[in-house]
Amino acid sequence: MAEMAPWAANAWYVACTPDEIDAKPLGRQICGERMVFFRPRAGAVAALEDFCPHRGAPLSLGFVEDGDLVCGYHGLAVDCAGRAARMPSQRVSGFPPTRAFPVVERYGFIWVWPGDPALADPAGLPDLPWAESPDWVYAGGLYNIACDYRLMIDNLMDLTHETYVHATSVGQKEIDEAPVETRVEGDEVVTSRLMPNIPAPPLWRQGLIDAGLPGDAPVDRWQVCRFSPPSHVMIDVGVALAGRGGPEADLGDKVFSIVVDFITPETPASHWYFWGAASRNVGRPDLVAARREAQGKVFAEDRAMLERQQRNLDAHPGRRLLKLNIDAGGVHSRRIIDRLIAAEASATSASSAA
């Protein structure tokens, strides 16, 4: 019996950013499926299995011509639905279609549905109001990380590690000392930590200065992490001048952002990590660029730790890991993922038996 994949297939995952497919087709493995993404025409996007039906070459090594994807091996052209369109001096109308994946462009990302196309509804995409508002600005990047995607979810749902992994940027001892609260809201998990009347860590100190606030003033700091299936984590973070209301403080008394984490499985031991932050638009592109650079360094520190963690786990597959109260967010998130996977497996079994 084949081992069950560690992800839910019937879900929307971020596959790439629009700029990655503007010049040429992009090959990318998503949830174990090798896919090719391309633009058949301006403003449109398509996703097919990255496999030419002629000789099995990757279609991603080809090019787009007249709206079709042309294989770079022998010139077989397929349309955006995967149907063979033409090939020099050959009849290809009888070729079986290449598998097409439902795909949507929204919020500045390309989203793909690796599972049953009949279940793909764009209404199921997450609601990201900051991505469609001129009052917000987003900056981010992409890392390919050699670890199980669920390790990244664990990492983001417990920010205690910041004290140690990110000691020179967002970490501080007060994170360890503040209690963390975890709650489950349907298929979402929320962990929160409030740290009143503390000094701001280096990254937030600079944020205060950039906002025209005193960097050495005591602050009320908050971290609210929200997991949403299949593998998204949004983190509301910020600092406000102490005693001004914390997250509810006036805009002039705080600096804050939404840390954006789209975690897309590649293989059971690797994933695509679309990281970034949405922050209030103050008309300062220089600050956006500086924050992106600083955030990239923070996320690179996570990458180094998680890849080494994966290697340790691979070397000791039977070793039992300990759980503490700070792990509750990750534990509940994994339970939701497991439930979705089990439900898909049950539906597939029932369909096969019918």
CATH code where residue 204 lies: 3.90.380.10
Predicted confidence at residue 2, as pLDDT, reads 57
Q: What is the mean pLDDT of residues 244-264?
A: 97
Q: Are residue 100 and residue 185 in the same domain, yes or no?
A: no
Q: Are residue 85 and residue 170 in the same domain, yes or no?
A: no
- 2 located within any domain: no
Q: Are residue 266 and residue 139 in the same domain, yes or no?
A: yes
How many whole angstroms separate alpha carbon 54 and alpha carbon 75?
10
Predicted confidence at residue 354, as pLDDT, reads 62
| Cis peptide bond prior to 230, omega within 30° of 0 | yes
Amino acid (1-letter code) at residue 266: E
Average pLDDT over all residues of the chain: 94
**Residue 178 near residue 159 (C-beta atoms within 8 A):** no
Query: What are the pLDDT digits (tens) for 103-119?
Result: 999 999 999 999 999 99
Predicted confidence at residue 111, as pLDDT, reads 98
Q: Are residue 162 and residue 74 in the same domain, yes or no?
A: no
Q: What is the mean pLDDT of residues 62-89?
A: 92
**Residue 62 near residue 69 (C-beta atoms within 8 A):** yes
Q: Are residue 111 and residue 172 in the same domain, yes or no?
A: no
Q: What is the mean pLDDT of residues 277-284?
A: 94
Q: What is the mean pLDDT of residues 233-253?
A: 97
Buried b (16+ CB within 10 A) or exposed e, 320-343: eeeeeebbbbbebbbebbeebbee
Is the alpha carbon torsion for 307, 278, 283, 197 positive or negative? negative
Predicted confidence at residue 352, as pLDDT, reads 65
Predicted confidence at residue 1, as pLDDT, reads 47
With bands split at pLDDT 50, 70 and 90, how would you rate the model's confidence at 320? very high
Number of domains comprising the chain: 2
Whole-number percent of the chain with pLDDT over 70:
98
Q: Are residue 110 and residue 154 in the same domain, yes or no?
A: no
Phi/psi at 19 (nearest 5 deg)?
A: -65, -20
With bands split at pLDDT 50, 70 and 90, how would you rate the model's confidence at 351? low
With bands split at pLDDT 50, 70 and 90, how would you rate the model's confidence at 88? confident
Q: What is the mean pLDDT of residues 191-205?
A: 97
Beta strands in 2-135 (DSSP E): 13-16, 26-30, 33-38, 46-49, 63-65, 68-70, 77-78, 84-86, 103-106, 109-112
Domain final residue, candidates 108, 123, 138: 123
For 247, the domain range is 130-341
Q: What is the mean pLDDT of residues 117-128?
A: 97
